[in-house]
Amino acid sequence: MKFGMNLLLWTGELNEQMLPVLEMLKRVGFDGIEVPLFNYDLDYAAWGRRFDDLGLGRTAVTIRGGADNPISPDPAVRQKGVDGNRKAIDCCQAMGATHLVGPFHSALGEFSGAGPTADEWKWGVESARKSAEHAGPAGVTLCIEHLNRFETYLLNATADSARFAREVDHPNCRIMYDTFHANIEEKNVSEAIRAGGKMIAHVHISENDRSTPGQGAIRWAENFDALKEIGYDGWLTVEAFGLALPEIAAATKIWRRMFTSEEQLAKDSLAFMKREVAKRW
């Protein structure tokens, strides 16, 4: 098992001011970090060398929007979505990130007023397969993330995401399980994790209020018990949000401070994850 921390608690883009944060995360005991990939023009190879020097593993997270929606009825827009995913994969390869996670299967925050159509599902599968074919030679595993119904409509449940990835039918296409979204959408989180099974290649540890894991209402015992049951042994990555970045706060609808400091949240989250893992693995 590896313990990671998503950098979105501090930043939407790597910058020099993040170096003390990276050093702190390594010092307190994290195995790695999850890098936001919204700007594909940074020198990610140079950042990869810095991560190596610090001894931090890395995964990355990206999204798609309306202008590059992989399930758009417009083939040109769908191609932009595939191109965007390929650029993100190239950035992962440059910095040595092993997994690319996130809702890059469709446009975040874009709704049609109805559920996904058969064509949208087909276009999503086709786009994801093209992305996975690029990820294979790059050594990157795509982990498609299903979100709650208020953020996307193509994929909201673990079983649906697993079926989607199976239809993509590529060894570099898997899914991600997020405790926050499951808490909203799944009737039974244990059954959801079992439905994901070996297709789950990444896990976000996120509390119901998006602050410190272990200090809210998520059914943690059920989540960890089921992850143990399916034999999961990959990244457990904390995803928490605060007020440090106005654009992230606006996107996540976080308007109040729910923790003492970002460093304390990181420390408490790591201790919580290690306790839960030690009970079971």
- What is the residue whose two structure tokens read 């209402």? 217
Angle at Cα 35 formed by Cα 228 and Cα 121, nearest 5°? 70
- Distance in angstroms (rounded) separating the CA atoms of residues 87 and 59: 15
Per-residue pLDDT 10s for the chain (281 aa) are 999 999 999 999 999 999 999 999 999 999 999 999 999 999 999 999 999 999 999 999 999 999 999 999 999 999 999 999 999 999 999 999 999 999 999 999 999 999 999 999 999 999 999 999 999 999 999 999 999 999 999 999 999 999 999 999 999 999 999 999 999 999 999 999 999 999 999 999 999 999 999 999 999 999 999 999 999 999 999 999 988 777 777 778 888 888 999 999 999 999 999 999 999 99
Reported as type and span, the H/E element at residue 101 is strand 99-102
pTM over 0.85: yes
